[in-house]
Amino acid sequence: MATLDWVALGPVLAPALGAVVVLVVDAAAPRLVRVHHALGLAALVVGLAVALPGAVSSTGAPVRTLCLSGRAAACLYEVGPVAAALQLGALASALVVLLLLWPDRRASLRGGPAVLVALVLAATAGASGVAAAHDLGSWLVCLELATLPVIALVALRGTTEAGRGALALLTTSLVSFALVVLGAALWLLATGQAVFAPEAVSAALDDPERRAVLLLGVLLLLAGVGFKLSLVPFHVWTPQAYAGGSEAVAAFLAATSKIAALAALVVVLQPLVLAGAPVLVAVGVVAAVTMTVGNLLALAQDDPVRLLAWSTVAQAGWVVLPLSAASPGSTAASGAYLLAYVVATLVAFVVVHVLAVGGAPRTLAASTGLLRSRPLLGGALGLALLSLAGLPPGVLGLVAKVVALRPVVAEGQWLLALVAVANAVVGIAVYLRWFAVLLRDPVAQEGVEAAQPQAGGEAPGAGPLGGRVARPVLVALVLSSGLLVATSVLPQLLLGLLE
Amino acid sequence: MVTLVALLVPAAVASWLLTAGRGLGHRAVNLLSAAAAVLSLAAVVLAVVLRPEVDRAWVPSLGLRWHLAVDGISAPLLLLTAVLGVVVVLHTRDRPPVGGTSAAFHACLLLVELGALATFLARDALLFFVSFEVVLVPMWVLITRFGDAHRPAARADAGGRFVLYTAFGSTLMLVGILALVAAAGTSDLTAMAEAGGRGIPASTQLVVAALLVAGLAVKVPVFPLHTWLPPAHTTAPTAGSVLLAAVLLKMGTYGLVRLPLATVPDGFARVAPVLGVLGAVGIVWGGLACLVERDLKRLVAYSSVAHMGFVAIGLASGTRTGLQAALFANVAHGVISALLFVVVGGLKERWGGADLETARAALREVAPRLGFALVVGFAASLGLPGLAGFWGEFLSVYSAWSPAPDRPLALFRTLAVVAALGTVLAAAYALRVLRTVWAGERRTPAIQDSRDTEWDVVVVLLVAVVALGVVPGPLLALTHDTVSLLVGAAR
């Protein structure tokens, strides 16, 4: 076994190096605005290209590198199927976000493109790294690397609302960092080693004195990561930060950041799941409360971004739901649910981004009649919403619900399952409320555009999109909604990654 | 292969209509949909004759397979669905939908048909669940978008209620299915039916059966969970009401047979008395509601609740006769309610409302065809011998009188008596409707009688109602073998 495997490290190194290169290029030639973005995209594509073979053809055996003395337990970097799939998801979602951030005539974020691209790449490197981190040190560093740049991304919008959102995010991150560090210290104290190893954890769990310390440490880690994953009661920053940042940044928060947070949680909980620790009850309670609060508040939102923010909270509950069951497949189930959610929510954010062009007010009413006036956008958003609701034709979301419920039911946690059932119903109400707006008659002035596809038949062009959409955004839309359609027809494409 | 054609044709045509074919005119859309529905019907007939089996992996990590097959229980329902799929498209020919594009309307009809066919064909428990969910969104669109044009608020309310209630039921069912699959170690319905619940501990069987029955009872609907049905029926367009009553409700009863009754018979035996009691309450409740209901469409919806009560009692009795009765009543109710909704929906269009208190011209005088169809429909609905409704309800009461040995005899005899009294209620409300709507001398305001495709559709349904009543043999024979297999495995 090599102690330094560059290819295995590729998914982390590619975005990290990309960030550095972008900054260097910016220092040398600050006028080359689009080159920065192109470089950023290239870095992510390289990362994806390196990660893809490992994720697709994974034999189940984890790839390890950065091993200290050749012992398997002492490797600092370990990529199993779940981690590989999460890395892939982080890189792909960052790619979509970067396409949305492509500079155009529209008033962009402050700080210049190079800073934006570098921040996105750095956070992505952190997300990709935390999934593979196998020791407390790199885990902590990567987790913070995934978080801190996002605060800047929110703040760079420059509005008062953005400042408030960034402040909320900053405060949250600091508290969360404090909790995580304390938790890590207790973990180190209890297990005696800085590496996440199941054996050390079970040894610590068997010893009553160390057991209490370890469980307290895990609870603190859980709380710290809970902030990042928007779990109730650590969720309050979510709507503020989402609404404060631009739609693209909100998409990053909803997709890449959530992947980072879940990856961090999985790394911590994996040894505990294998040991069947009692902390998992806490996870179940948090999941139930989170999905309930998120869904109920999402029902009352009128700003699509805020609605998607509360929907993130609700879906975060679903994401951690399977983790409450101490079965070997539960981390894979959790990862699968998250990736399904990320695909659907990215599509929704891309469409919201397109609709918000020109500073139109962000309300649900802005998408009135979208299915008829701008069929392509409306269709993509409609499919995304149905997928989030878990109703066919959004088969991906439906299958994800099955995947998430399966470990819970198999463990016989009926109460939790019933809470989930109730939430599935409320969730449907949340998304159908928006879907019904898409389905309404288009507002009067859209009449001309609505008539176009009827006359032109299948002719492509402005008809189905109903207006100018910047080419990179179009690429983002096609990529994300294409993925959503493909995984809805063949959910195995996504679920297979995690096996 | 044939089964795949039956599913793929409506799926492909519906997706085309929703994407590229959006701008097509009503006639063209209708013709295309009719062609798809007829092709699908032909494939279903072939499938019922040939009994092919398809088994392909779809989502291996969940064990979800495209496992499709036809047997005696599903064959009648498949035929019913495919026939009604053609019927609703034909019925739409002369009435371009209001509220949205014709393409979307037809796509929704085809998607509902697709979901129902897939549900009846599915032999994998998880595929059954997925197919079960397919009908929700198109039906919701039909209700909220194309329903009663006068009352948008009522449409939104009815559609929302429909989706939320039935989604609650099906998610509950999903929990039951997952528990069942975890306990049985397979999601293959045929294998689980053959095992007949052996190897699953009694307590697990009870939990699974309770979850499945509770979940499916929403769809059927069984008494306290029926409140979504009347508003949905009242506001849905006629084609939607027909599909709702004749196809969607059947998915619930079919699910009860296929899932709890076949796979966890011991657990189902313990839940059955509750189901039976609720069925009997539904019969009486539905009958009483019909006696006072002022809206004709809503009245027919409440009568559905009563009829589904008979099906529930038949299923609960646990005998071969009971199961046969339930399956027969299922199909009979499908045909009768389709007929009634076509007629009543047509009347509502002509009258501009369906309030029974408004004075109107007597159908006997101004619209003899519609009047005749209404009389036959209500006569069948009250269970008159010689018409479709009789056999299912008669056999169902009979099976409740002599239930399976492990059922509480006194309770089921009481249920039989209550159900028999329920038929009296049915007679009462049927006569009430016919007296107000059909009989009388009044000739104003005149309405147009049924003709063209509407009349064709009515004739087809009338023939079916009479045929099922006069010659019940073929249908009973079709279900006989499979039913014996199921009840045999349960013993």
Interval A165-216: pLDDT, tens: 999 999 999 999 999 999 999 999 988 888 887 788 888 888 888 888 888 8
Average pLDDT over residues B52-80: 90
Residue A48 included in any domain: yes
Residue A1 included in any domain: no
Contact A458 B20 (CB under 8 A): yes
Nearest to A453 among B23, B100, B129 (CB): B23
Mutation for testing the A interface, residue in B17, B22, B139, B173 having most A CBs under 10 Å: B22
| pLDDT at B322 exceeding the cut of 50 | yes
Confidence (pLDDT) at A272: 79
Range of the domain at A358: 6-454+464-498
Residue A262: left if φ>0, alpha if ψ -120 to 50, beta else—which one?
alpha
Residue A312 included in any domain: yes
| pLDDT at B364 exceeding the cut of 90 | no
Contact B59 A405 (CB under 8 A): no
Contact B136 A391 (CB under 8 A): yes
CA closest to A403 among chain B residues: B62
DSSP secondary structure string for all residues of A194-238:
SB--HHHHHHHHHSHHHHHHHHHHHHHHHHHHHHHTT-TTS-THH
Contact B101 A372 (CB under 8 A): yes
Is-contact A178 A246, C-beta < 8 A?
Answer: no
CA closest to A421 among chain B residues: B171
Confidence (pLDDT) at A73: 54
Nearest to B61 among A392, A455, A495 (CB): A495
Contact A425 B164 (CB under 8 A): yes
Nearest to A410 among B134, B172, B178 (CB): B178
Contact A392 B178 (CB under 8 A): no
Confidence (pLDDT) at A464: 62
% of chain B at pLDDT higher than 90: 54
Contact B175 A409 (CB under 8 A): yes
Q: Supply A93's token pair.
A: 């979602």
**Chain A residues in contact with chain B using a Cβ-Cβ cutoff of 8 Å:** 372, 375, 379, 386, 391-393, 395, 398-399, 401-403, 405-406, 409-410, 412, 414, 417-418, 420-422, 424-425, 428-429, 432, 436, 439, 453-455, 457-458, 490-492, 495-496, 498-499
CA closest to B57 among chain A residues: A492
Q: What is the band of B151 on the pLDDT scale with cuts at 50, 70, 90?
A: confident
Nearest to A392 among B58, B133, B164 (CB): B133
Q: What is the pLDDT of residues B205-244, one digit of tens each?
A: 999 999 999 999 998 889 888 899 999 998 999 899 999 9
Q: Which residue has the higher pLDDT, A62 or A163?
A: A163
Q: Which residue has the higher pLDDT, A272 or B83?
A: B83
H/E element, B9: helix B2-18
Q: Supply A466's token pair.
A: 């109903």
Residue A14 included in any domain: yes
Question: Which of A440-449, B204-213, B349-358 is predicted most confidently?
Answer: B204-213
Q: What is the pLDDT of residues A291-342, one digit of tens each?
A: 999 999 999 999 999 999 999 999 999 999 998 887 888 889 999 999 999 9
Provide the Cα torsion B195, B200, B202, B205; round to 10°.
-80
| pLDDT at B262 exceeding the cut of 80 | yes
Q: Which residue has the higher pLDDT, B482 or B251?
A: B251
Confidence (pLDDT) at A135: 86
Confidence (pLDDT) at A452: 38
Residue A459 included in any domain: no
Nearest to A386 among B18, B137, B171 (CB): B137
Contact B167 A425 (CB under 8 A): yes
Q: How far is B61 from chain A (nearest CA, A)?
A: 7
DSSP secondary structure string for all residues of A292-355:
HHHHHHHTT--SHHHHHHHHHHHHHHHHHGGGGS-STTHHHHHHHHHHHHHHHHHHHHHHHHHH
Contact A392 B62 (CB under 8 A): no
Confidence (pLDDT) at B139: 94
| pLDDT at A131 exceeding the cut of 80 | yes
User: How confident is the prediction for chain A on average, in pLDDT?
Assistant: 86
Q: Supply B450's token pair.
A: 């049924």
Domain count, chain A: 1
Residue A41 included in any domain: yes
Q: Which residue has the higher pLDDT, B171 or A70?
A: B171
CA closest to A336 among chain B residues: B61
Mutation for testing the B interface, residue in A318, A421, A485 having most B CBs under 10 Å: A421
| pLDDT at B59 exceeding the cut of 70 | yes
Contact B136 A401 (CB under 8 A): no
| pLDDT at A459 exceeding the cut of 50 | no
User: How confident is the prediction for chain B on average, in pLDDT?
Assistant: 89
Residue A257 included in any domain: yes
| pLDDT at A467 exceeding the cut of 80 | no
* Amino acid at site B474: P
Confidence (pLDDT) at A1: 46
Average pLDDT over residues B136-157: 89
Nearest to A425 among B18, B133, B168 (CB): B168
